[in-house]
Amino acid sequence: MICAGFAHGLRMIGAVLSARRVRAVAVESYGAPQYQELLTEAGLRTPALPLDEGGTRTEDLALRGVGAVLLTPAHQYPTGGALRADRRAAAVDWARATGGLVLEDDYDGEFRYDRQPVGALQGLDPERVVYFGTTSKSLAPGLRLGWMVSPRSVAQEAVAAKGHVDWAPGALDQLTLAEFITSGEYDRHVRAMRLRYRRRRDELVAAIAEHAPGVRVSGIAAGLHAVVELPPGTERSVISSAASQGLAVEGLESFTHPSAAAPASDAGAGPDGEGAPARRGDALVVGYATPSDSAWSGALAALCGVLSRPEFGSKIHP
């Protein structure tokens, strides 16, 4: 089903789940807050699953009392890791055993640098996984062009949820993309952009290593952003300093589920009675795809200048 981006598709699935009397959809403890809000607007609770080095702890799904789970398994947003194989299997096994659904957001699947492409969860069980794709990263978010591959058991309900008002992109945009794909030009475009973004990622990592060697950069094997880890207590001040230089970077705090925002010592009392995931450390989420070629070197220099300032340097440098 063609939809106007991931948010539109998620809104439709939220309506389907609500009509099925599902009461809650599990989400990752770090993610885009607007998507949690869309599920909440559909009348669904969004308990969070803990996240560690192996990715989201899908083995905890049975403890959450949910009817679906929203995951970014190929490249967790925004922390950047891939979901470990046993946890991918656990998510699908849970869905089979309970009749639940896995909502798979493959938001930047075209861009992998240091590892082989990670197969879609949807391939493990097409009847239990709803797969979402989009052109937002490969072409432009302004196109509002995406797609949803749903199980047969969900398809007609999704069509009904879409209703008579068609939010999908215009026919001309869809036909143009179809020609772009069938001609092979889309693949050529993605390959060229993958090389460009990999070069930018490498420049970002090298520049930070030179100017702020105490800073660790993670989540960089794929995608269009990096996580720049900061010393405790510096996230907000670094963001403020970056903004004064015209840099629009975000802190990891803004992607944190409310139940993961509490200190680790308070992590035993989640809002639904489950243990809440502990918050990770301070960090910046830095996108490196947006600046134009002419602005890129200046933006990178400004970021490194902020990270190496004396007021942060005493905390950042070993």
Tokens in use for 8?
Answer: 């539109």
CA distance 180 to 159: 26
Q: Is 242 in a helix, a strand, or coil?
A: helix
Q: What is the mean pLDDT of residues 26-53?
A: 94
HEC letters along 66-124? CCEEEECCCCCCCCCCCCCHHHHHHHHHHHHHHCCEEEEECCCCCCECCCCCCCCHHHC
Q: Is 176 in a helix, a strand, or coil?
A: helix
pLDDT confidence of residue 311: 63
pLDDT confidence of residue 166: 63
Q: Confirm or reject CATH 3.40.50.1980 for domain 2-182, answering yes or no.
A: no
End-to-end CA distance of the chain: 52
Q: Is the pLDDT of residue 231 over 70?
A: yes
CA distance 244 to 263: 29
Structural domain boundaries of the chain?
Answer: 2-182, 187-316
Position of tokens 């794909």? Answer: 181
pLDDT confidence of residue 109: 81
CA distance 242 to 181: 39
Kindly write down the DSSP assignment for every residue of 217-240, as one continuous string.
Answer: EES-SBSSEEEEE--TT-HHHHHH
pLDDT confidence of residue 263: 44
Amino acid 133 reads G
Amino acid 34 reads Q
Q: Is the pLDDT of residue 318 over 70?
A: no
CA distance 60 to 33: 21
CA distance 260 to 172: 43
pLDDT confidence of residue 134: 93
CA distance 238 to 250: 10
Lowest mean pLDDT: which of 25-29, 110-114, 241-245? 110-114
Q: Are strands 25-28 and 68-71 parallel, antiparallel or unpaired?
A: parallel
Position of tokens 């770090």? Answer: 30
Q: Is the pLDDT of residue 245 over 50?
A: yes
Q: What is the mean pLDDT of residues 23-39?
A: 95
Higher pLDDT, 118 or 19: 19
pLDDT confidence of residue 118: 79
Q: What is the pTM of this model?
A: 0.86
Amino acid 1 reads M
Q: Are strands 216-218 and 101-105 parallel, antiparallel or unpaired?
A: unpaired
Report the candidate in 251, 270, 250, 268 with the shortest Cα–Cα distance to residue 259: 270
Reported as a pLDDT band with limits 50, 70 and 90, residue 167 is low
Mean pLDDT (the chain) is: 88
Q: How does pLDDT run across 195-218, given as a tens digit for each residue?
A: 999 999 999 999 999 999 888 999
Q: How does pLDDT run across 55-83, given as a tens digit for each residue?
A: 999 999 988 889 999 999 999 999 998 99
Q: Is the pLDDT of residue 114 over 80?
A: no
Reported as a pLDDT band with limits 50, 70 and 90, residue 316 is very low
Q: What is the mean pLDDT of residues 96-125?
A: 89
pLDDT confidence of residue 116: 74
The CATH architecture that domain 187-316 belongs to is 3-Layer(aba) Sandwich (3.40)
Percentage of the chain beyond pLDDT 90 is: 71
Q: Is 65 in a helix, a strand, or coil?
A: coil
